[in-house]
Structure 1
């Protein structure tokens, strides 16, 4: 079975578009425009001000800027502290990124157990990439006891959230009966969903299954 590849770019992506409490639209827009115009000094100060006022979105953005070395407000390790604060405050993207840090041992001691816990917290909030990561942890037995049924459950949740790798994986699980009851019609459905997003391997599998199901229905 193929597994999704997690890119470091996910960790370094700055979450700029969401709205958040305790920050006016004017403040949020000012920080956003400063950042996209590469005025990192101004963006960092604006995010820093709002972060210290307890705004989780600003805490996350400030953390990402520090980790990327874009802010003079603090070091990458200080960024991890802000990221952890945003994660503890319930910000799902921050929880997912904390999981990535622990999974790869970047700026924190590597710990698959901690990675799994953070992925779980974000997954429970409906974060698709975290659901996919949590599924992989269960499938491989990393940071949690190996459990193919739980892996299948979370892969299917991620697939329903549009995660293309999970759509292919769930399809293959239904096709083989790996972790769930074999069901070629459901396998076909998920291969088609992945194919619609441009997965050529899924397209080929869907074509093969369609031919197989058509022949067996005669």
Structure 2
């Protein structure tokens, strides 16, 4: 116990340890960190003071590689209450490879991200037209428009999928951020479906 007139020792910026229980959750993947699994603690300032935010060590390599590198430079396993066996630690090089793979996957996902507005093929029969409420059959073309939503001081645009014949009605809604002018050209530029299906959907949308 710390004597009353003595300041408690500051918490280390990083800790690498085997999880002491199965109660913590990884802040990267949101899954439970099993007891004895290697985890990285990153010191953060919270509403009740400082504390460590925990991540699976491998998850941290994919999302927070610079922090993992700093933790290894500091030999952060020595800051653990029960330091793990260094032989059980993955090499920094292997963690860097995980980080590079994760970065490449994120870049590919971003490159493949569709820009609103676009047309797509409904992958199942579970969706409904956001404008009319009609079911959208599997394999049917649906048009994804942008709908504005306010989150605090920020305005975000979310996907608003409608059947082609209801696009005109949807565009009349002031919350729809997509403009009628130039819509056909934007759909042609942004969509990745069969061109004949796309052109048929544009015809079905009609004059706006």
Which gives a bigger RCO, structure 1 or 2 (Cα 8 Å, sep 6+)?
2
TM-score (normalised: structure 2): 0.30
More strand by share: 2
TM-score (norm 1): 0.29
Report which of the two structures shows the higher radius of gyration computed on alpha carbons: 2
